[in-house]
Structure 1
Amino acid sequence: MRNADMGMPSHGAGLGSDVARVAAVTTLVLLAPLAAMQFTPAVHWTALDFGAAAVLLLLAGLACVRAARRLRSARARLAAVTLLALGFAAVWVELAAGVFFGLGS
Structure 2
Amino acid sequence: MIRLRIQVSHQQGTWLVLTDTPRPDCPDCEGDGGIEYPYGDENGEYADSNWEPCGCWNENRRWRLLPLPRLHRLLRRWHHRRDPWGPGSYSNEPPF
User: TM-score by structure 2 length?
Assistant: 0.25
- Structure holding more strand per residue: 2
Larger Rg: 2
Q: Which structure's relative contact order is higher, taking Cα pairs within 8 Å and 6+ residues apart?
A: 2
Q: Which structure carries more helix by proportion?
A: 1
Task: Give the structure-1-normalised TM-score.
Answer: 0.23
